[in-house]
Chains A and B, each alone.
Chain A
């Protein structure tokens, strides 16, 4: 169970990015975080995984608890060991290493001898059969979809309880996006893996998530079950691109800023 309470994040002691973010991820469920560019979704994930430090960011207020342990001031490697792994956006493979080496490095945080590398790799290849054929290829030359599978597979190698998945659909074609989302859903049901999913593609995200949060300007402005979010007029309009009658809306007639003001107040 991950609990984020009233978290405030500052970059360089100057730029306040999260202004009282609160959310919860129960064990083994998929939760999605929706929001526009710059709303603070990725910052939220980095605050959880501890990667803020490399970007001069810092949690200045509030707390982040994972299974009763306070993690907001732990190092990233300690957080990985507790079972939280972040899959960063933009398919961050280690370009010059092979697929196999990328996967093996994913298990770096685990106790040596507590697992068999071969079994673990085989499990990953079970979910991503394509990667098995590409095992000895330099990962910089994989296609976008293959790289996305690789980073998810690599994250699984750390035997996580919670995966922070940032924009897995970014820059991928619709068929691949569907495939990736199906795998994510399988991982959730088969491995009981909790997933905090950040997505621009709200339709897909709400399709697999149980519950969703809407982030705007560094705080949660709206949350509810996926069904409830899907029915909400604002969500429909801003994230699903549908107007009230369920048809494609005309962007010319919408006054975005007025409706947004209501949330910001």
Chain B
């Protein structure tokens, strides 16, 4: 019973981070129809910049964290501007491969600047101690990460649903030409989308790096668990990815605890495969509205 409580709590908490990173993937997919494979490495860069500010310049934690997140956002802007802008109107496969190329490029840069070995933040971002939760001990990192992720998720959701810019983003997500004909500058919306995606990847990267360790391969290994969540929720559903993130987090933790450590890693993919056989657009993915 205690094990189940731990799994549930851990699953939900880590699921929050998956949901947040997943939102970054979903908004880019919605706006530009590009599946961004560079998301994990954008997060790594943010985490390493945060690390450097703390370690080399001795900046306080909150300054470093904010700067790390912002720089991941700016990195997103740069990727859109320099790698993808020229590919607008080209086959989508080209853009998708470009994001893969960017991720490999970032991996190389990070290995070159920071050592390819694993480091950890000089001061932990979240308190290291555990908290008691229905008789189970939960790490401070998981709780802190979840709160930050949920907060960011809520803020961005309100922004998309309530603000004029958010409305323009949703308009562009649906049809570029219509949005353009109404006076929306579509390329600006692309930039903004990549900036926001960069921010959430930065938040996710820092949370995950604080959880275990900061390494050029270690953080992406964790971050890539977002992909099954995105596919499960539906590539174009922000709400879907929130629920699917938690589902995947739970599945992973229960798989780890009750079957075996390796099984926990594949159980999300088993769930996704089975789901996609029945619903190819994901559980909450939008279907085209067709009046008959």
Contact = CB atoms under 8 A, between A and B. Distances in A.
Instruction: Say which size band chain A's interface belongs to.
Output: 20 to 34
Contacts of B279: none
Interface in A33-72: 49, 51, 54, 56
Interface string B165-201: 0011011001111111111110000000000000000
B183 A80 contact: yes
A104 B181 contact: no
A105 B184 contact: yes
A97 B171 contact: yes
B174 A77 contact: no
A94 B178 contact: yes
A115 B292 CA distance: 38
Contacts of B180: 51, 54, 76-77
B171 A94 contact: yes
Contacts of A155: 182
Contacts of A154: 182
Contacts of A104: 164, 167
A169 interface: no
Contacts of A54: 89, 176-177, 180
A88 B288 CA distance: 20
A140 B175 CA distance: 13
A158 B177 contact: no
A51 B183 contact: no
Q: Which of A54, A81, A93 has the most CB of B within 10 A?
A: A54
Q: For the complex, would chain B's binding face be called helix, strand, loop or mixed by DSSP majority?
A: helix
A46 to B, nearest CB: 9
A96 B289 contact: yes
A187 interface: no
Interface string B150-176: 000000000000001001101100111
A148 interface: no
A109 B286 contact: no
Contact of A94 (B174, B185, B286, B291): B174
Contacts of A94: 170-171, 174-175, 178-179
Contact of B182 (A96, A106, A138, A140): A106
Nearest to B288: A95
Contacts of B184: 77, 105, 108-109
Contacts of B164: 104, 108, 112
Nearest to A46: B181
A112 B89 CA distance: 31
Given A75-B185, A80-B182, 9 more contacts: A54-B176, A54-B180, A88-B177, A93-B178, A94-B171, A94-B174, A96-B286, A97-B171, A141-B291
Interface of A: 49, 51, 54, 56, 75-77, 80-81, 85-86, 88, 92-97, 101, 104-106, 108-109, 112, 138, 140-141, 154-155, 158
Interface of B: 89, 164, 167-168, 170-171, 174-185, 286, 288-289, 291
6 contacts: A54-B180, A77-B180, A80-B182, A80-B183, A94-B174, A95-B288
